[in-house]
Amino acid sequence: MDSARKTPDDKLLSPALSDEESSVREREKRPRRQSDPSFSLAQRIESKLLTATALLSKLEPHDPRARLLSIAVMRGDEALLDGILAELATPQTPSRRSR
């Protein structure tokens, strides 16, 4: 049978698939929200919830970050709050797309 699978020709592969041209991008440096070490866990979360609700009132209702932020507030999820608050603290650039 001549219909056996053949290995692809290297010339037909896309340049993006070539191992020689791949690279790793560095992560963007995002500002980290520093918490006061004298705060208890409840005080720290309460502070983040107050900040989040204030930001939530300023966001457009159709902004996907607003929905995510409201979920984080409802759950009291500190990690999610930290991530969204850090994202909102950085200025949005035209190349960054929200999903």
Q: What are phi and psi of 16, to 5 degrees?
A: -70, -25
The structural domains of the chain, with segments of one domain joined by +, span 62-90
Average pLDDT over residues 17-35: 65
- pLDDT tens digits, one per residue of 82-92: 999 988 887 76
- Tokens linked to 93: 């650039």
pLDDT score, position 34:
61
3-state SS of 52-90 is HHHHHHHCCCCCHHHHHHHHHHHHCCHHHHHHHHHHHHC
- pLDDT tens digits, one per residue of 49-65: 999 999 999 989 888 88
